[in-house]
Amino acid sequence: MPKIKTKKSIRKRVAKITGTSRILRRKTVSQHLCSRKSKRTKKNSGRKTGLTKADERKIRAQVPYGK
């Protein structure tokens, strides 16, 4: 039986798959126009956050072997 291929674009967007198999993503609003954003916004945008259950199910189908 052939292996299932991983969707490369989704693999690049996923920040990390944890040991407990949660999928983490990077937050938005961190790349440009930083001079007008508050320090708190910039600090929090560097963190990683989890996905919703529905999104996690969709991504698991696209990234079958983790990362």
Q: Is 26 exposed, middle or buried (0-12, 13-18, 19+ CB in 10 A)?
A: middle
Pick 31 or 2 by higher pLDDT.
2
- Residue 14 contacts residue 25 (beta carbons within 8 Å): yes
Over 70: is that where the pLDDT of 38 sits? yes
What pTM value is reported for the model? 0.67
For residue 8, give the 3-state DSSP assignment.
helix
Given pLDDT bands bounded at 50, 70 and 90, which one contains residue 4? confident
**Whether 23 contacts 17, CB under 8 Å:** yes
Mean pLDDT of all residues in 23-51: 84
Q: Which domains does the chain have, with CATH numbers?
A: 8-62 (4.10.410.60)
pLDDT exceeds 60 at position 67: no
Q: How far apart are CA 58 and CA 53, in angstroms?
A: 9
